[in-house]
Amino acid sequence: MVYVNYFFSALEAAEMYGDDYVGPSVRAQERQQGDIAALQGPLLALENVTLSFGGVTALAAVDLTIAPGEIHAVIGPNGAGKSSLINVISGLYRPSSGRVWVDGVSYAGVPAHRAARLGLSRTFQTPALFKGLSVADNIVTGLAYRNRSNFLSQALGLPLSRREQAGVRQRAEEVMALLRLERYANHLTGALPYGLQKRTELARALAPNPKVLLLDEPMAGMTATEKLEMADYVRAARTRYGTTIVLVEHDVGLVMDMSDRIAVLDYGRKIADGTPDEVRNNQAVIDAYLGVPHDNEQGAGI
Amino acid sequence: MADFDYLFFLEVLTGGLLSGVMYSLVAIGFVLIYKTSGVLNFAQGSILLFAALTFVSLTEKGVPFALALAVTFAAMVAIGIAVERVVLRPLVNKPPITLFMATLGLSYVIEGAAQLLWGTQVHGLDLGIEDIPFEFHGILISTFDLFASGVAAVMVVGLLLFFRYTRVGLSFRAVADDQFAALAVGLRLPRIWATVWAASGLVALVAGLLWGARSGVQFSLSLVVLKALPVLVLGGFDSIAGAIVGGLIVGASEKLAEVYLGAFIGGGIEGWFAYVLALAFLLVRPSGLFGQNRVERV
Amino acid sequence: MTTNALRPKTLPSWLLLVLILALAYAVIPLFGTGYLIEAIMLPFLALSLAGVGLNLLTGYAGQVSLGSAAFMAVGAFAAFNFNLRVDGLPLLVSLVAAGLTAAAVGIVFGLPSLRLRGFYLAVSTLAAQFFVQWALTKFSWFSNNNPSGVIDAPTIRLAGIDMTSSLGRYYFALIVVSLLTLFAWRVATSQTGRNFIAVRDNETAANFIGVPVLKTKLLAFGLSSFIIGIAGALWAFAYLRTVEPAGFNLDRSFQILFIVIIGGLATIRGAFLGAALIVVFPVVLSRVGSLVFGSMFDSGTLDMTQRIVLGALIIAFLILEPDGLAALSHRLRLWRQAPAPAS
């Protein structure tokens, strides 16, 4: 039985090495250069998506298209539906109507358990880390969906399993280096400070080199310095891996700085979608969310 | 099914429903605590045993009925307060399963203490009700079961009224709904929890006396809690109405299964039937008949 | 052992392991009395193995099970029946077959975990407990139609050597436990083990990042029941020398759960620490009891006191040291060494 395993593992290794373990910068170039033209539909889009629970309409006929390789932010007041948007894209919520396009295929409801295979990755508002695992192990688990070896092969230390482990560890080290997490590699994530937890979650989301990265308030609860650092890491991910990024965030200043385009939601409707400049000067956005920039600059009257 | 014995069926059904009421009574003790503190109190059975043992031992020593009842109730309240302080408060932010395991440990402590204190022999408990079966339209009904159902019904009505119309009852419901909001309006949680445990102790006392009178007061009484669990699964952990309906369903189907299925597979089905029923039910409705579906916020 | 953080600087863990193995394989057989082996080591080994199995399910994968004794029973009866009815089957093969049978039953009763969590799952494992006990008692085929329903364990033959003597059974159990513990450790430290922890800690996130949640849960039930089943066979064959359903009741299930809680969830060594305490504690208690209270301390009193102290220990551990004895021992080692660099 071991020999049969060997045979299949040889075939599988060839397939595995051929596809997913291409160098990251090559991947980035491929994305930017027209690999996208081969897609039948958009990389990521919401088509007339409505989401209601009970009496509440979280999203109302939202149309949104994300261009490959861009950083596209989603902002809006509390309760505007930003997290719901991310949850719909990641398949945690199923829209009441409308379609979600992922990697050229449209879905009535994105299958969350297959999200990784579709090239989707995300972080959560409260870090959804596995507290009982170390930083490195969390990141490695982000790649678990690719494993072909079964528990027996792993327990016995068969070649396929060992090769998989080596590949996965190498990738994890790469990502930890990019996000400067190496010195925490063996620390239990449950014991880490909040900022590091968020960074670890980002690392885990980046590990499978996703096509689309969804970030749900990645800077929430951070100090100003931590926020700037996080923004750098997010940009680094896009530069290095060519990842398309959808970002929900409250810190408008930061968002204006780092995004290519910004969509604004209010009461579940999209009221604006354009470059930071366009959004900054959009009257509807100012009325609903930003407020008039000149008055109250010194905080008078608050 | 030409010669299906309808009378016999009704008899079994009635017997089952009546014993189901007894299950409901035990389950209600659970619901009280779960509703207000989110704890599934596995120790409910041992508290029941403790109550029954205390009462029986006191009356056997010559203490008059009413006094024994009062002393036992006082003991229940004391246990409730002690449990709240020693077990629940330190574990206040732990996940529910931790609390459940703590009550598992608690059940061991109370069982051991009860029998250490009062001994391990079996006691008979005489509540003065003669168990003469009486006939109603051709079916035999146990007088005792009827009496027990009557008591249980009174208890349930009393509790429902209590929750709806008294201030303490209202505060129970407030705490059950939203602990933080309850705190915000000034309700004193530890006091309420101690009261809840005392109330649940009272229910356990009544249930313990009824069960004890029915099947003798001995260690196995604490295992009656195990029957309450399928009831809770069916009826939802936080609903008194559910506990009643669940109890009736469990009691009836258990007896019917024992008689009719048991003919094919052999006896002893009562031991597990309720569980398998609850399990089958859960697979269809993971939060029970009346249970509240929790929406997970991501 | 979910992380290799904070490797102690004084006594390396491999050395500690070697010492323990030396103790188990050489020192105890040489110097231990018959009583030590029969009454302490054999039950300790069987219960530890059951704890290792339950830990995989409840500690690592977070699926609460109150029915472990049922799977022990399946293992014991299956081993007996395989050994009895299949001619010439080596005992070790019967054990493995018994484990696989227990695994199959475990997976069936583990199916509810795909829909249920927490209390609801615990209640459904109780269904396993009661149903299995009933089935094994009711259908006399399982006990070879023996009128009393109690059967004697067969002689233990390993590679032609008769190991039914006290020492023989000890080595038999020791070898089986060593091998399976190694296997469990390998699983726990592999990606499979990490998947278990992922499903336990955040099932939604695990599902999203592509951990196969359904497969993982069923695997946890299967592997855990496999090990627990063999533990049951050891309990019956090596320790009690009889196989009867009554010994695999709800109290036994709670006992295994207590072992795992006290010893430390999600650690391999926790099962051994917990089992040691559970096995040794009644002995110590009875000695101390008769010393202090004299003849008043009879077996009934012992039983009850034991229950009280055990229950109190559970509560104490849950409050003070939820990570069990394993964490306590870890802290003790750290406290003894030079302070580690700031982390």
**Span C30-79, pLDDT tens digits:** 888 888 888 899 999 999 999 999 999 999 999 989 999 999 999 999 99
Q: Is CATH 1.10.3470 correct for B14-120+138-284?
A: yes
Length of chain B measured in residues: 298
CB < 8 Å to A115, chain C: 208-210
Poorest-pLDDT segment among B154-158, C159-163, C337-341: C337-341
**Chain B hits for A124, Cβ within 8 Å:** 298
**CA-based angle C281:C286:C288, to the nearest 5?**
95
Structure tokens at A25: 């910068």
The set of residues, in sequence order, having a beta carbon less than 8 Å from that of C294 and lying 6+ positions away, is: none
pTM: 0.86
Higher per-residue pLDDT: A158 or B289:
A158
- Tokens 């090239």 belong to residue: A119
CB A267 within 8 A of CB A60: yes
Structure token digits, residue A289 = 């969310």
Could you name the CATH architecture of A2-290?
3-Layer(aba) Sandwich (3.40)
Find, among B238, B240, B220, the residue nearest to B287 by Cα: B238
- Type and span of the H or E element at C227: helix C213-234
- Calpha distance C109→C100 (Å, rounded): 14
Q: Is the dihedral of CA B120, B121, B127, B133 positive or negative?
A: positive
The answer to whether residues A175 and A207 touch, using CB atoms and an 8 Å cutoff, is: yes
Of the candidates B117, C252, A180, which has an alpha carbon nearest to the alpha carbon of residue B109? B117
Top pLDDT among A19 and B207 is at B207
Are the beta carbons of B85 and B198 closer than 8 angstroms? no
Instruction: Measure the CA dihedral A154/A157/A162/A168, to 10°.
Output: 40
In sequence order, the β-bridge partners of residue C162 are: C157
* Axis crossing angle, helix C68-85 with helix C42-54, rounded to the nearest 10: 120
B107 and chain C in contact, CB less than 8 A: yes
A21 pLDDT more than 70 = no
Residue C50: predicted pLDDT: 97
Contact at CB, A145 and C266, closer than 8 angstroms: no
For C308, nearest residue in chain B (alpha carbons): B109
Judge: C206–A141 Cβ closer than 8 Å, yes or no.
yes
Which has the higher per-residue pLDDT, B120 or B257? B257
Nearest to A132 among C191, C266, C343 (CB): C266
Please state the domain extents for chain B: 14-120+138-284
Could you tell me if residue B134 is left (phi over 0), alpha (psi between -120 and 50 degrees) or otherwise beta?
beta
Distance from CA of C32 to the nearest CA of A (A): 34
Of the candidates C185, C205, C200, the one whose C-alpha atom is nearest the C-alpha of residue C4 is C185
C197, C207, C219 ranked by CB distance to A133: nearest: C197
CA distance A120 to chain B (A): 17
Answer yes or no: is pLDDT of B298 > 50.
Answer: no
User: What percent of chain B lies above the pLDDT cut of 90?
Assistant: 5
All partners of chain C with 3 or more CB pairs under 8 angstroms: A, B
Per-residue pLDDT tens digits for A205-240: 999 999 999 999 999 888 999 999 999 999 998 998
How is domain C13-336 classified at the CATH fold level?
A: ABC transporter involved in vitamin B12 uptake, BtuC (1.10.3470)
Contact map slice: A 10-69 vs B, CB within 8 A: 53
Percent residues over pLDDT 90 in chain C: 43
CA distance A285 to chain C (A): 33
pLDDT band at A300 (very low <50, low <70, confident <90, very high): very low
Q: How confident is the model at residue B287 (pLDDT cuts 50, 70, 90)?
A: low
Contacts of A92 in chain C (CB under 8 A): 204, 208
Q: Which residues does residue A248 pair with via DSSP β-bridges, in sequence order?
A: A74, A216
**Is A144–C198 a contact, with Cβ atoms under 8 angstroms apart?**
yes
CB atoms within 10 A of CB C70: 35
Q: Would you give the end-to-end CA distance of chain B in angstroms?
A: 55
* Optimal mutation site among C65, C115, C124, C265, interface B, most CBs of chain B within 10 A: C124
Q: Amino acid letter at C20?
A: I
In this structure, which amino acid lies at residue C146? Answer: N
Beta-bridge partner residues of A134: A188
Predicted confidence band at C120 (pLDDT cuts at 50, 70, 90)?
confident
What residues have CB less than 8 Å from B6, skipping those under 6 apart?
none
Nearest residue of A to residue C200, measured between CA atoms: A130
- Mean pLDDT throughout B120-135? 73
Contact across the interface for A188 and C200, Cβ inside 8 Å: no
Query: Residue B208 has which token pair?
Result: 């313990």
Q: What is the structure's pLDDT at C288?
A: 83
* pLDDT for the residue C149: 65
- State how far residue A58 is from chain B, nearest Cα, in angstroms: 14
Nearest to C318 among B102, B111, B296 (CB): B102
Buried b (16+ CB within 10 A) or exposed e, B189-202: beebbbbbbbbbbb
CA dist A209 and B169 (Å) reads 56
Residue showing tokens 């024992």: B258
Rounded to the nearest angstrom, the minimum Cα separation between A184 and chain B is 27
Name every chain A residue with its beta carbon within 8 A of the beta carbon of B295.
53
Where residue B157 falls among pLDDT bands split at 50, 70, 90?
A: confident
Distance CA A115, CA A90 (A): 7
Residue pointed to by tokens 């209590």: B162
Distance in angstroms (rounded) separating the CA atoms of residues B244 and C165: 57
3-state secondary structure chain B: CCCCCHHHHHHHHHHHHHHHHHHHHHHHHHHHHHHHHCCCCCCHHHHHHHHHHHHHHHHHCCCCHHHHHHHHHHHHHHHHHHHHHHHHHHHCCCCHHHHHHHHHHHHHHHHHHHHHHHCCCCECCCCCCCCCCEEECCEEECHHHHHHHHHHHHHHHHHHHHHHHCHHHHHHHHHHHCHHHHHHCCCCHHHHHHHHHHHHHHHHHHHHHHHHHHHCECHHHHHHHHHHHHHHHHHCCCCHHHHHHHHHHHHHHHHHHHHHHHHHHCCCCHHHHHHHHHHHHHHHCCCCCCCCCCCCCC
Q: What is the pLDDT at residue B291?
A: 54
Token pair belonging to C19? 């010492």
Give the Cβ contact number of residue C257 at 10 Å: 24
Rounded to the nearest 5°, which phi and psi values hold at B137?
A: 50, 40
In this prediction, residue A293 carries a pLDDT of 52
Q: How many alpha carbons fall within 13 Å on the CB side of residue C197?
A: 28
Interface test with C, best of A89, A141, A152 (most C CBs within 10 A): A141
Q: How far apart are CA B169 and CA B188, in angstroms?
A: 14
Instruction: Tell me what pLDDT residue A215 has.
Output: 95
Look up residue C278 and give its two tokens.
């559970």
Residue of chain C minimizing CA distance to B121: C300
Q: What is the ipTM of this complex?
A: 0.85
Q: Which residues of B touch C300 (CB under 8 A)?
A: 115, 120
pLDDT the model gives residue C337? 56
Sign of CA dihedral A140, A143, A146, A150: positive
> Is C342 part of the contact surface with chain A (CB cutoff 8 Å)?
no
What was the pLDDT predicted at A164?
93
Minimal C-alpha gap between B231 and chain C (Å)? 11
Note the pLDDT tens digit of each residue in A139-150: 999 999 999 889
Please say if the pLDDT value at position C339 is more than 80.
no
Q: Where are the domains of chain A?
A: 2-290
Q: Kindly report which listed range (A271-285, C182-196, C197-211) carries the lowest average pLDDT score.
A: A271-285
Write down the pLDDT at residue A248.
Answer: 94
Q: Which residues pair with A269 in a beta bridge?
A: A266
